[in-house]
Amino acid sequence: MDHNFNDENNLPSRKADHVKLVIEEDTGIDRVSNGFENFKIIPSAIPEVDYREINMATSFLDFEFKAPIMIAGMTGGYPEAEKINKKLASICNEVGIPMGVGSQRAMIKNKNMIPTYDVKKHFEDLFLVGNLGLVQFNYDFGINEYNECVEQIDANAMALHVNAFQELCQPEGDLNFSDLWKELETLCEKSKVPIIGKEVGSGIGIEDVKKFEQVGCSAIDVGGAGGTSWAKIELMRYDGEGSPPFELNDPTLKWGIPTAYATWEASGNTNLELISTGGMYHGLDAAKALAMGTNMVGVARPVLQELVNNGEKSALKWIENYIETIKRVMFLMGVDSIETLRTQKNKLIPMNDAYFWVNSRKNKL
Ligand SMILES: Cc1cc2nc3c(=O)[nH]c(=O)nc-3n(C[C@H](O)[C@H](O)[C@H](O)COP(=O)(O)O)c2cc1C
């Protein structure tokens, strides 16, 4: 994601650092889970479906996909990112699912970096989601830069990420978030492609879901807690003067709505299409998110780790297994299509923390 505008020359090395840290270090937060373990599914005693006939196809933003998962935006903007994005694109192309790129700010600053994002020149049928930080529109980005990001990579949709907590944890992070709803509304009016409002680890509560809908977004990624923590990553590589805003064991790092609870709140309570990202590392959790009603499940860190450590074939296999796990859960629920799976919210039983969350938020929904 993006960093302060005074630090242009360091942008490529920051991007490379991110990938390295995500692969080599524990970038989750101790005892913060995505929350899905707190939901049980009521099984179907006699499932009455033929496993081989289960249909994983789905639609999202008026496009058809072979499965309801996507590789969430990660990288671009430094030379080695070209290979990574090309391999991720090849996997998504093969499986028939969407792919996101990382923030495109680096390619606006340095046009030589465009090829590191422009994977559709290799896979023209790929559904590609572009990416920019919304806060940049309070600094030196405007509609021209936005359009350039869409056009240069032929993006099918554009994710505008909101990352207040991450910015707070960076030396000289971009902390002017004032008037950004208005800015987002203007971008939604002018954009030629659908806009996805994207959190990256703090989760989006129903109050904000409604605002994303009002300003004209087409979808949101609820980006909940329980997966990669960008606050932690920035604190791990803090190189500013003085001390960082938080120590790594500060309780504030547990900030955010777990992905399960954010998904629960949003689904059925908005017309926006939904993506559930943040610690979605197992097909069982993905099946639960889909049963709640989400449209797409986003995965970032585990795919990147698999790709970098074990190669493209292994990352492809990881995704295929993940999809197969969703299918197995569907079988046990007696559900033969993603469309039907998405109507099964009443088969999910909230327990423990989830029970309290669901009940205490009832009057907001
Ligand atoms: C190496 C890496 C770089 C990322 N860069 C971006 C980015 O530039 N823009 C963005 O919106 N999200 C970015 N993300 C966040 C992911 O899209 C995702 O929301 C987050 O990592 C949580 O998913 P996970 O728990 O599966 O990793 C990045 C994630 C990783 C792992």
Q: Are strands 58-60 and 63-65 parallel, antiparallel or unpaired?
A: antiparallel
pLDDT of residue 97: 98
Q: Is the CB of 33 under 6 A from ligand 1?
A: no
Structural tokens at position 66: 């072979």
Strand partners, 63: 60
Q: Say if residue 204's pLDDT is above 80.
A: yes
Nearest CA to ligand 1 atom 2: 74
Q: Provide CATH code, domain 15-240+254-364.
A: 3.20.20.70
Tokens at residue 234, please? 């920035």
Going by the DSSP 8-state scheme, the letter that residue 295 receives in this structure is: S
Question: Are 289 and 259 contacting, i.e. CB atoms less than 8 angstroms apart?
Answer: yes
Q: What's the whole-number average pLDDT of the chain? A: 95
Share of the chain above pLDDT 90, in %: 93
* For residue 8, pLDDT beyond 70: no
Q: What is the dihedral of CA 75, 78, 83, 89, to 10 degrees?
A: 30
Residue in 99, 136, 237, 301 to alter for ligand 1 test, most ligand atoms within 8 A of Cβ: 301
Q: Is the pLDDT of residue 5 over 60?
A: no
Q: Which helix (H) or strand (E) holds 109?
A: helix 105-109
pLDDT tens per residue, range 141-200: 999 999 999 999 999 999 999 999 999 999 989 999 999 999 999 999 999 999 999 999
pLDDT, one tens digit per residue, over 42-84 is 999 999 999 999 999 999 999 999 999 999 999 999 999 999 9
166 touches ligand 1 (CB under 6 Å) = no
Name residue 157's beta-bridge partners: 129
Domain layout of the chain by residue ranges: 15-240+254-364
Q: Is the pLDDT of residue 3 over 50?
A: no
Residue 8 sits at φ, ψ, to 5 deg, of -50, -40
Q: Write out pLDDT tens, residues 222-273.
A: 999 999 999 999 999 998 888 899 999 999 999 999 999 999 999 999 999 9
Helix axes 312-333, 301-310, angle to 10 degrees: 140
Could you give the count of Cα atoms lying within 13 Å of 164 in the half-sphere of its Cβ?
9
Residue with CA closest to ligand 1 atom 5? 74
Mean pLDDT of 332-336: 98
Instruction: Show the tokens assigned to 193.
Output: 């492609």
pLDDT at 4 over 90: no
